[in-house]
Amino acid sequence: MSTQDETFEFQVEAQQLLQLMIHSIYSNKDIFLRELVSNASDALDKLRLESLRDHEIQAAADTSDLHVQIESDTEQRTLTVRDNGIGMSRDDVVGLIGMIAKSGTKQFVQDLKEAKEAQDENASQELIGQFGVGFYSSFMVADKVSLVTRKAGESEGTRWESDGTGTYTIGTAEDAPQGTAVTLHLKPEDTEDSLFDYTSETKIKEIVKRYSDFITWPIKMAVPAKAEAKDDAESDDADAEDAAADEDVTVLETVNSMKALWARSQSEVTDEEYSEFYKHISHDWSDPLETIRIQAEGTFEYQSLLFIPSRAPMDLFMQERKRGVQLYVKRVFIMDDCEALMPEYLRFVKGVVDAQDLSLNVSRETLQQDRQIQMMQRRLVKKVLSTVKEMRTKNPERYDTFWSEFGKAVKEGLLSDFDNRDAILDIASFDTTHDPDKQTSLRDYVERMKEGQQHIYYLTGESRSVIENSPHMEAFRDKGYEVLLLTDQVDEVWAESAPEFDGKQFQSISKGQVDLDTEEEKEEVKAEREQREKEFAELLSWMTTALQDNVKEVRLSSRLTTSPACIVTDANDLPPALENMYRAMGQPMPTAKRILELNPTHALVSGLRTAHGEGGKEEQLGETAELLYGMALLADGGEPVDRSRFVGLLADRLERTL
């Protein structure tokens, strides 16, 4: 019975998601049962964990026979997945099932619609797995879904029900048992639409064996009793022989093996089993990109089974994301997202670590300081990085997928994991001027360096095209020097802090002085340079004074060949993008003045020198200097200090040319 029923409307995005599920294009609808069993298993894990930590729950909750039970009714065409785990309160039901309150919902639904319209089943499944809405997959096979739940330690249960058409009802469920039961009122069987008889014992066992065999909790279902079992069940009954003939006698049978994959020999586990286990722990619907096994023996023993996903989750760069791998102690689940085992920059790695020597009552705070956990983390990180390095050599296509999905996150490790900085740089890939269609490794860059080149040159910017068209590139392009083109926000930070790779220091081509001439070339143009310095000395001194509010120096450039001017950051100053980043994080940063470099061979610059030498009008000369500075800022991706004034000066000059 349920009382106090209330009807609510789904959020718009939730309604759209339900309709996509109801009118699903998936050829494999069996996965709905995997999702429900996985949710039930999670609920059992959470109850076991809470009973270890909370004495009140330990006293109030029954943990003597934790299991998942699947019940089917052929006549009523219902399928129920039941667990006696942690359960949910009314607020939990509203928050977790009645609505979808995650950020990114609108974009997610739009992406899912596009995948459906394109009839791309794999893309649809991957999107749903990333968003974590497996419960809604029930509507692929059911006309109505009912949920009855009671949270462990509470006395009142909750009932939720919906036909997926836009509303749901919630009421109080009297006498609800501890845990959660999800009942599906199944659609008619339609094999042409991949809707099978999900009340069939054979079909249920087939799905459980394929997708959930490794789950560590028993998955039970009622099956017809064998003759011996019937005799045992009715051994005290005087009419035992008649009971043995009764076809309605059933027994609960455990239909999964419950064998932990990480504890089994690698030769005993198939790729499909690894894949299904990954989907279970990650709630992703796509296969993993790579599987990593670790068996540590000796004074500190543990087993680990890690996975690198094939696609970045939607929340990879969201603050509220969860990260970390599952922690077990001697096969007992302890923690779902153990952050202490995996650093922030490897937050996409999923998996299980099973330690032999930790306390079952260990807390997150204790883990952060635990020496054994720290040792495990170092080993796990090194294994993940070495696996990616091996992937790059043996399976370049798979590596390319990895780097395109997770490269931005991995590069964050250059700022936090100094012990592994060389290893991270060794697996990184970058756009460069060497090949417009292919990224390169730093090792390949170093092998291609010109004789006598001492630096790894790079330039940061918003996009490849912006960087390639930067005035800073001109001399490097003309002389054939390869330049790394760094477009990720994190590049601004690590490139400033990373000292070197393979003995070669990183050097921004927009900082300090640039001199690409050989000693022989310097000698050839020495006299010409000295003469230019004399000719432009007065102009440079005057412009430095005229623009002193914005620049620290105006000087001649050796990096420009076609542009009239460019902005350069002093060798000891932070670039503007990095200054802005620190300010956004709340750190007060003074604005460092930059250097304006002029191209002495450009007609505009040489004309300005002539006009200044001939005593031109001070006001017009000052305006030209402002325009030069403003154009240099624009070319560098910035903008003039006073945009209105810049536009006005430019319009006035253009008018005079007509």
The tens digit of pLDDT for each residue in 363-382 reads 777 777 788 889 999 999 99
Q: Are residues 616 and 540 in the same domain?
A: yes
In a domain, 329, yes or no: yes
Q: Looking at the DSSP assignment, which residues form a beta bridge with residue 308?
A: 290
Average model confidence (pLDDT) across the chain: 86
CB atoms within 10 A of CB 117: 9
The residue ranking higher by pLDDT, 616 or 482, is 482
Q: Are residues 95 and 204 in the same domain?
A: yes
pLDDT grade, residue 407 (50/70/90)?
very high
Apex 35 CA angle, 34 and 38, nearest 5: 85
Best CA proximity match to 439, nearest among 411, 470, 478, 414: 411
- Most confident among 150-159, 519-528, 583-592 (mean pLDDT): 150-159
Provide Rg for the chain, Cα atoms: 33
**Rounded CA separation 574/492 (Å):** 10
Q: Are residues 169 and 214 in the same domain?
A: yes
- Most confident among 160-169, 276-285, 303-312, 333-342 (mean pLDDT): 303-312
Distance of CA 102 to the CA centre of its chain: 15
pTM over 0.85: no
Is residue 463 scored above 80 in pLDDT?
yes
Q: Are residues 139 and 20 in the same domain?
A: yes
Q: Are residues 30 and 104 in the same domain?
A: yes
In a domain, 515, yes or no: no
The residue ranking higher by pLDDT, 236 or 64, is 64
Q: Are residues 453 and 392 in the same domain?
A: no
Pull the structure tokens for residue 283. 């709630």
Residue 330 is part of a domain; what is its CATH number? Answer: 3.30.230.80
In a domain, 231, yes or no: no
* Average pLDDT value for residue range 198-205: 95
SS3 assignment, position 594: strand
Residue with tokens 């689940």: 333
**Rounded CA separation 53/147 (Å):** 27
**Rounded CA separation 39/485 (Å):** 45
In a domain, 306, yes or no: yes
Residue with tokens 């739940």: 149
In a domain, 371, yes or no: yes
The pLDDT value given to residue 158: 95
Q: Are residues 577 and 538 in the same domain?
A: yes
Binding site residue list for ATP: 35, 39, 83, 88, 102-104, 130-135, 180, 364
Cβ neighbourhood burial of 553 (10 Å; 0-12, 13-18, 19+): middle
**Rounded CA separation 570/578 (Å):** 14
The pLDDT value given to residue 27: 64
Residue 495 is part of a domain; what is its CATH number? Answer: 3.40.50.11260
Is residue 244 scored above 60 in pLDDT?
no
Residue that terminates a domain, selected from 477, 508, 539: 508
Pull the structure tokens for residue 353. 């670590």
The DSSP line for 279-301 is HHHH--SS--SEEEEEEE-SSS-
Residue that terminates a domain, selected from 389, 404, 419: 404
Residue 531 is part of a domain; what is its CATH number? Answer: 1.20.120.790
Q: Are residues 216 and 90 in the same domain?
A: yes
In a domain, 156, yes or no: yes
Q: Are residues 447 and 373 in the same domain?
A: no
Pull the structure tokens for residue 629. 């500075």
Q: Are residues 560 and 488 in the same domain?
A: no
Q: Go through the chain and tell me how many residues it has.
A: 658
Residue 627: which domain range? 523-657
The tens digit of pLDDT for each residue in 82-114 reads 999 999 999 888 877 755 544 445 555 566 566
In a domain, 234, yes or no: no
Pull the structure tokens for residue 313. 């989750």
The tens digit of pLDDT for each residue in 15-60 reads 777 777 677 655 678 888 988 998 899 899 899 888 888 888 888 8
Number of structural domains, the chain? Answer: 4
Task: State phi, psi for 97 to the nearest 5 degrees.
Answer: -120, -35
In a domain, 413, yes or no: no
Pull the structure tokens for residue 448. 């291609």
SS3 content of the chain, % helix, strand, coil (to 5): 45, 20, 35
Q: Are residues 45 and 147 in the same domain?
A: yes
Residue 85 is part of a domain; what is its CATH number? Answer: 3.30.565.10
Residue that terminates a domain, selected from 224, 250, 284: 224
SS3 assignment, position 82: strand
The tens digit of pLDDT for each residue in 276-308 reads 899 888 888 889 999 999 998 877 889 999 999
Q: Are residues 445 and 536 in the same domain?
A: no
